[in-house]
Amino acid sequence: MLDDALREIIGEELRRVLREELAARGELVRPVASADDFLSIKAAAQVAQVSPGTVRSWVREHHLREYRAGRVVRLRRGELVEFLASGIKPEREPTAREQAISILARRRR
């Protein structure tokens, strides 16, 4: 009985000291991100390593589902990761130069 109490006290003290040391070194363990987490457009862009405008276009093209709370738009981390892993290349809009070349080519016919 005394051994169990002593083990518990030592265990609690050891955990406290470890937490303090890790926090002092900046190595405190952070919670792992969940697939159910919601991300802002900016955070989703950082995860995907693209611009926020690209993420907005993926939402507009229905590659990603948006979740709204009033004007606030959020995306699910799991859906973003699944989309990125799928390798589906979203259609990009042609640049102004590409549009001009296409228009001129049609007129020459």
Going from N- to C-terminal start, the domains of the chain cover 1-30, 38-108
Confidence band for 77, pLDDT divided at 50, 70 and 90? very high
Q: Per the structure block, which two tokens stand in for 26?
A: 């900046």
In this predicted model, what pLDDT tens digit does every residue of 14-36 receive, in sequence order?
Answer: 888 888 887 777 765 555 567 67
Of 95, 58, 90, 53, the C-alpha closest to 76 is 58
42 pLDDT exceeds 90? yes
Is this structure's pTM higher than 0.75? no
Structure confidence at residue 109 (pLDDT): 64
In this predicted model, what pLDDT tens digit does every residue of 93-102 receive, in sequence order?
Answer: 678 888 888 8
Average pLDDT over residues 7-12: 85
C-alpha angle with apex 49: 91 to 38, nearest 5 degrees?
A: 90
Give the DSSP H or E segment for 75: strand 72-76
Burial 43-73 (b: 16+ CB within 10 A, else e): bbbebbeeeeebbbbbbeeebbebeeeeeeb
